[in-house]
């Protein structure tokens, strides 16, 4: 394909002036980043380096100029939203109140790394934060990570400057470039996608570990292959240009970073990211109904439901598992439409039937009482989730009265919600925000 080569050179000369004023730039390859390490390490506050926010380039007036497509993918992503996310803001305020501000920096380090390193955060209200720090996890923050201290609790080593690190060994640009193996591996994501309690080290989120111990790394499938390709699933190769001024390449990674969040993406105005999150959830699981073909009237009947995690590289659900809800809505109806059994429906407050099959974790506080407040968590009381590529079987028993009209229809829906409705009601006011429920997958069967 013909590329505007001369235009490209012209553009380079033009932007060189701009770049020189931003950095002391000499376009060269620099040394490879440190070898990957995979040990867990606690990051204490004293270790947080002091880096001014002005040392980072703003995506909106710099990276955008030459990486338009990538910019549009990242804008409105949960990485871009990580600080402004209203759910994070509300929960952080409660956490801060409960701990007299002790936990503020710990929480914010992952959600606005630039804000914490620049000491613009605290104060909690964000009144000292520069505009760039509010943009969350952004281009220059990720692409100037020069190494890692391990896995979890913000183990990144940040070295802002002219060198942008990425996956190419032959990249030529007006800014310096360097190949970084770290950026091509799940260990890069693992620096933040494993969260341990700052005092008792309890594993609060362990997406990286779930992936690492599962089947995907053995097949060479990294987080990037699912979350940085058009998806859902591993959609490689994805040919394109990393910059409109760069060459055509056989594969480039995308930057929407889509997970299951169809709430905050929508609240903060990205219909694209909302739609992609729903699409991803719908491709994650599979249901199968197993039952005897004959109904036994006047007695208990058994039906099994098999749930398979076919698309997620980690447990279903993962991440904030004490809050995320995946559950089975299981319904048996007679031929004339009478519901004879229903498990997993919502009550008028939006709470799930307590007897339903729910996939999530329950955290316990120091008295062993269930808590949704991670800062009070000291143990995991229960963990019922579905590991990657595994199937779990649920058994349902229901009475079929004599005289019922056959056949019976069994309908099962696997549902996803980002949080219990009561939690959102507590944070935002009763029914101010009604959380959407996404139907991940369904199955239907008839028995005579
Ligand atoms: C003046 C244009 C321009 C600007 C501004 C710019 N880039 Fe680039 N960048 C390029 C070009 C051209 C390439 C080469 C693309 C290729 O090799 O396919 C590139 C390559 C890269 C690479 C790949 C490096 C590698 O070795 O893998 C990264 C990462 C990158 N840029 C990040 C950024 C970030 C972050 C910003 C904002 C802080 C930015 N760029 C601003 C033009 C630019
Ligand atoms: C959460 C960290 C993160 C953020 C935020 C981020 N990137 Fe990347 N980016 C990566 C990783 C990781 C790769 C390499 C993936 C791989 O090779 O496996 C990458 C790849 C790239 C590349 C190489 C081409 C490609 O797509 O494969 C360019 C250029 C780039 N990013 C620019 C940007 C720009 C510009 C922004 C902001 C609009 C941005 N990135 C935001 C992590 C990030
Ligand atoms: C600097 C820390 C950091 C790094 C590095 C990082 N993430 Fe994230 N990521 C976050 C935070 C914080 C959020 C949550 C923001 C929120 O919900 O408010 C997030 C959100 C996400 C989401 C959206 C989750 C949802 O519920 O929809 C996905 C997907 C994701 N990250 C994937 C990745 C992948 C893949 C990588 C590696 C290429 C990566 N992240 C690297 C901190 C990080
Ligand atoms: C085989 C593909 C695949 C791989 C590999 C993979 N994921 Fe995912 N991920 C998914 C799918 C599908 C979903 C949506 C279902 C869900 O929410 O669990 C998802 C959801 C997520 C979420 C949102 C969870 C929620 O409900 O809030 C995060 C965060 C995330 N992934 C991060 C990662 C990280 C970090 C890695 C690597 C350590 C990774 N993923 C590896 C497919 C993958
Ligand atoms: C080591 C990095 C890290 C630290 C520290 C951290 N988080 Fe997060 N946080 C994440 C990641 C990654 C996600 C996304 C997981 C997912 O989507 O399931 C997330 C998601 C969230 C969400 C969900 C937002 C939404 O829209 O659903 C809230 C709320 C939150 N964090 C609050 C906190 C609080 C409060 C603290 C301190 C007690 C904290 N975080 C500390 C990495 C971190």
**pLDDT at residue 145, rounded to an integer:** 98
Average pLDDT, the chain: 91
In the chain, CATH 2.60.40.10 sits at: 284-447
Q: What percent of the chain has pLDDT over 70?
A: 90
Question: Residue 258 in contact with residue 277, Cβ under 8 Å?
Answer: yes
pLDDT for 47: 81
Pocket test residue of 98, 202, 205 for ligand 5, highest count of atoms within 8 A of CB: 205
Per-residue pLDDT averaged across 64-86, rounded? 98
Question: Per-residue DSSP letters for 177-224?
Answer: EEE-GGGGSHHHHHTTSEEE-TTT--EEEEHHHHHHTSSTGGGT--HH
Q: Does the Cβ of 167 fall within 6 Å of ligand 2?
A: yes
Question: What 8-state DSSP symbol labels residue 411?
Answer: E
Q: Is 253 in the pocket of ligand 2 (CB under 6 A)?
A: yes
138 C-alpha to ligand 3 centroid (Å): 11
Residue of the nearest CA to atom 24 in ligand 5? 88
Instruction: Identify the pLDDT of residue 33.
Output: 39
328 lines ligand 5 (CB under 6 A): no
Residue 24 pLDDT greater than 70, yes or no: no
pLDDT digits (tens, 9 = 90+) for 103-126: 999 999 999 999 999 999 999 999
pLDDT tier at 267, thresholds 50, 70, 90: very high
In this prediction, residue 174 has a pLDDT band, given cuts at 50, 70 and 90, of: very high
Specify the CATH superfamily of domain 284-447: Immunoglobulins (2.60.40.10)
Ligand 3 mean position, distance from CA 435 (Å):
21
- 137 C-beta closer than 6 A to ligand 2: yes
Q: Please indicate whether residue 25, judged by its CB atom, sits closer than 6 Å to ligand 1.
A: no
Nearest-atom number in ligand 1 for the CA of 65 is 5
Residue 15 pLDDT grade (very low, low, confident, very high; cuts 50, 70, 90): very low
Q: Is 154 in the pocket of ligand 5 (CB under 6 A)?
A: yes
pLDDT at 31 over 80: no
Instruction: Give Cβ neighbours of residue 68 (< 8 Å, ≥ 6 apart).
Output: 244
Asked if residue 166 has its Cβ within 6 Å of ligand 2, the reply is: yes
> 314-351: buried (b, 16+ CB within 10 Å) or exposed (e) per residue?
bbbbbbbbbbbbbbbbbbbbbeeeeeebebbebeeebe
In short, whether 111's Cβ falls inside 6 Å of ligand 2 is no
Phi-psi region of 337 (alpha: psi -120 to 50; beta: other; left: phi over 0): left
Residues 351-378, mean pLDDT to the nearest whole number: 97
Compute the distance from residue 441 Cα to the ligand 4 centre, in Å. 17
Residue 98 has pLDDT above 60, yes or no: yes
Residue 320 alpha carbon, nearest atom of ligand 4? 27
Give the span between the Cα atoms of 96 and 200, in whole angstroms: 18
CA 110 – ligand 2 centroid, Å: 18
Given a cut of 90, is residue 4 above it in pLDDT?
no
**Residue 10's pLDDT band (cuts 50, 70, 90):** very low
Q: If pLDDT is split at 50, 70 and 90, which confidence band does 46 have?
A: low
State the ligand closest to the CA atom of 385: 4
Residue 93, pLDDT above cutoff 90: yes
Ligand 3, residues 36, 78, 277: which to mutate, most atoms within 8 A of Cβ?
78
pLDDT for the residue 37: 39
DSSP 433: S
143 Cβ contact list (under 8 Å, min separation 6): 164, 165, 166, 183
Is residue 82 within 6 Å of ligand 2 at its C-beta?
no
CB 395 within 8 A of CB 307: no
Average pLDDT over residues 73-84: 98
Pocket around ligand 4: residues whose beta carbon is below 6 Å from it? 186, 189-190, 193, 207-208, 211, 216, 221, 223, 226-227, 232, 259-260, 280-281, 283-284, 311-314, 316-320, 324
pLDDT of residue 265: 96
Which among 412, 398, 290, 262 is positioned nearest to 345, based on CA atoms?
A: 412
Q: How confident is the model at residue 45 (pLDDT cuts 50, 70, 90)?
A: low
CA of 55 relative to ligand 2 center, distance in Å:
19
């Amino acid at each position: 394909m013909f590329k505007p080569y001369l235009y490209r050179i012209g553009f380079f000369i033009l932007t060189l002036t701009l770049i020189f004023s931003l950095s002391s730039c000499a376009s060269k390859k620099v040394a490879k980043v440190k070898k990957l390490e995979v040990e867990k390490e606690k990051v204490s506050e004293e270790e947080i380096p002091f880096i001014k926010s002005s040392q980072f380039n703003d995506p909106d007036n710099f990276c955008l100029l030459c990486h338009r497509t990538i910019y549009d993918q990242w804008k409105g992503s949960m990485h871009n939203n990580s600080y402004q996310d209203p759910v994070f803001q509300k929960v952080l305020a409660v956490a801060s109140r409960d701990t007299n501000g002790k936990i503020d920096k710990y929480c914010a380090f992952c959600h606005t790394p630039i804000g914490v390193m620049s000491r613009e955060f605290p104060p909690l209200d964000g009144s000292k934060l520069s505009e760039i720090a509010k943009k969350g996890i952004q281009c220059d923050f990720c692409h100037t990570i020069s190494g890692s201290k391990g896995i979890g609790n913000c183990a990144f080593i940040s070295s802002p400057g002219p060198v942008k690190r990425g996956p190419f060994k032959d990249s030529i640009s007006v800014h310096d470039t360097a190949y970084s193996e770290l950026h091509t591996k799940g260990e890069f994501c693992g620096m933040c996608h494993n969260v341990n309690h700052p005092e008792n080290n309890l594993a609060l989120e362990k997406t990286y570990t779930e992936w690492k111990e599962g089947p995907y790394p053995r097949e060479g499938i990294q987080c990037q292959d699912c979350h940085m390709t058009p998806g859902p699933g591993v959609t490689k190769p994805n040919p394109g240009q990393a910059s409109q001024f760069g060459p055509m390449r056989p594969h480039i990674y995308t930057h929407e970073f889509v997970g299951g969040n169809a709430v905050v993406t929508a609240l903060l105005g990205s219909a694209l990211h909302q739609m992609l999150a729903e699409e991803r959830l719908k491709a994650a699981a599979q249901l199968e109904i197993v039952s005897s073909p004959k109904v036994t009237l006047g007695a208990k009947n058994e039906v099994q439901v098999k749930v398979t995690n076919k698309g997620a590289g980690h447990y279903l659900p993962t991440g904030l598992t004490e809050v995320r809800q995946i559950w089975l809505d299981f319904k048996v109806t007679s031929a004339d439409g009478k519901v004879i059994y229903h498990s997993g429906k919502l009550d008028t407050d939006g709470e799930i039937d307590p007897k339903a099959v729910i996939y999530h974790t329950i955290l316990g506080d120091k008295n062993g009482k269930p808590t949704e407040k991670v800062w009070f968590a000291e143990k995991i009381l229960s963990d019922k989730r579905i590991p990657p590529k595994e199937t779990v079987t649920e058994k349902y028993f229901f009475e079929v009265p004599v005289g019922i009209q056959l056949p019976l229809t069994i309908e099962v829906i696997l549902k996803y919600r980002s949080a219990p409705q009561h939690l959102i009601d507590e944070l935002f006011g009763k029914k101010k925000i009604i959380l959407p429920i996404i139907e991940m997958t369904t199955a239907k069967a008839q028995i005579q």
